[in-house]
Structure 1
Amino acid sequence: MRKCLHVQQRLVGCELLRDEPGHMMTLEAFNGESGFERRYTVQGDQQTHWKWPVIKSRAQLEYDAWLYAHFYRPLCISQLRKYLTKEKKHVMARVKPRVRVIKRYWTEAGVVQMTCLATGFYPRHINLTLLQDGQPVDKERVTGGELLPNPDGTYQMRKSVELSAEEQRERHTYTCTVTHLSLDNKLDINIGTSD
């Protein structure tokens, strides 16, 4: 006799906006396939998306809505407030990025790769842009740009552009510009094409 194992998963989340409850959501999956999504707005309205057939009666659905409004949401908000109080120093931390420029030369091809690296910053959102003569370098020419975690809980990002020998002779001005919550002003680093 063969036994089957079935797995049902539920993810519930809520948000706290300036000390006021925000949205709340529930996602459910059965055997790895998502099939139910419910979102509650701040005003208590709900949006439900069913991928599976609905097998609950109207009374059961109304009870679920009452349960979320009067039990799950208050519980989620109280737990979130406790966590934020406990971890406020870490959650609200702002760590400035360390920014440096790295140049690699391929003398046989006459190509130079200029890389702008920002590392050690927190929180994770950063705007790192490579400029040529004050204008953003075409996206097709830029490589990198993925946000990566560091082992210490901070983040890093790098972007690179390759310049042909002809582009180097044209004497364009290249700049690495960084904006981040921890910086009062944007940080601009001029990149010389020759040493």
Structure 2
Amino acid sequence: LLLGVLGGAASEPHSLRYFDTAVSDPSPGVPQFVTVGYVDGEVFVHYDSETRRMAPRVDWIAANTDQQYWDSQTEALQGAEQVFRLDLDTMRERYNQSRGSHTTHRMFGCDILEDGSIRGFEQHGYDGKDFLTLDKDTLTYTAADAGAQITKRKWEQEGTVAEKMKYYLENTCIEWLRKYVSYGKEVLQRRERPEVRVSGMEANKILTLSCRAHGFYPRPISISWLKDGMVQEQETKRGSTVPNSDGTYHAWATIDVLPADRDKYQCRVEHASLPQPGLFLWEPQSNLILIVAGVAVAVVAVIAAL
């Protein structure tokens, strides 16, 4: 059963992310260096040490850029590739490690938030752990351990590393994010409604209610369980939002309840494709009805007992 409640969805934010990864022992299918770029969670560019070229991964970026764009991006990443290779050697020496398998990585990017404000970040890691994190407000780095302190002191003494990154995150990154969103607006700003299914399974006198949303776009979604209208945040278990092969996403949230209390629980789904949040109930063997402000209308989501 799907119920409608009054209230509008927030405007959609936008994000630009880059992930750099270097490995000490490359293998077939695992290049020594890889960079992947994302706009609003969608891969749009890719570079690796085997092709040594930045390449498009979606039609909209290829259609709106010229060869100079790809040449300049490629040149910058070829330089980054060399730096990351040297960084791997530096890290192994610093941590007194053998030539085993090691990984260094960096994640950075910027966001335009719902209210129009901006933010940016840069994080470095080594072997899957935090290494350095930029605080762009103070132009300093937070070091995760003694090894990272060495790099922190070096960069802060040089005095320009954090300043350059801050400028990039607050200006260049935002400028390109706006361009990319404009280039790909037909794809990035499309709206596909989630199909929501609510199911229940009872075992050992506990009823597990599951709320699954399928086939939605864009990626951001909020799935919450309510009891008597109150959000049950601590009691709710959530899975990751995972891409489907068709470019949409799916996500889920479950909660364990007493069988006698099942009518007190509702699943709330908020998504940019919905004019207002939806409330879903588990009704075994029942027909499906959508009610908005007390008026029966057409069903916009399929809910069935599984």
TM, length-normalised to structure 1: 0.62
Q: Which residue of 2 aligns with 1:146?
A: 239
Larger Rg: 1
Q: Which residue of 2 aligns with 1:189?
A: 280
Residue 24 of structure 1 and its aligned partner are, at CA, apart by: 3.9
Amino acid in structure 2 at the alignment position of 1:37: T
Structure 2: distance between partners of 1:171 and 1:80? 45
Q: Per the alignment, in what secondary structure is the counterpart of residue 191 of structure 1?
A: coil
Residue 134 of structure 1 and its aligned partner are, at CA, apart by: 4.1
Instruction: Report the count of equivalent residues.
Output: 179
Residue 99 of structure 1 and its aligned partner are, at CA, apart by: 1.0
Q: Which residue of 1 aligns with 2:141?
A: 48
Structure showing the higher helix proportion among its residues: 2
- Verify: 1:115 aligned to 2:210, yes or no: yes
Amino acid in structure 2 at the alignment position of 1:184: P
Structure 1: distance between partners of 2:264 and 2:163? 62
* Farther-moved stretch of structure 1 (80-89 vs 25-34): 25-34
Amino acid in structure 1 at the alignment position of 2:239: E
Q: Which residue of 2 aligns with 1:94?
A: 191
Residue 98 of structure 1 and its aligned partner are, at CA, apart by: 0.8
Structure 1: distance between partners of 2:139 and 2:211? 45
Unpaired runs of 5+ residues, structure 2, are: 1-85, 92-103, 287-306
Structure showing the higher strand proportion among its residues: 1
Greater RCO (Cα-Cα under 8 Å, separation 6 or more): 2
Q: Percent same amino acid among aligned pairs?
A: 23
Q: Which residue of 2 aligns with 1:37?
A: 133
Q: Is the 8 A contact 2:219 2:241 kept in 1?
A: no
**1:81 corresponds to which of 178, 182, 185:** 178
Cα distance, 1:134–1:192 mapped onto 2, change above 3 Å: farther
Q: Is the 8 A contact 1:23 1:40 kept in 2?
A: no
Unpaired runs of 5+ residues, structure 1, are: none
Residue 163 of structure 1 and its aligned partner are, at CA, apart by: 5.7
Cα distance, 1:146–1:52 mapped onto 2, change above 3 Å: same
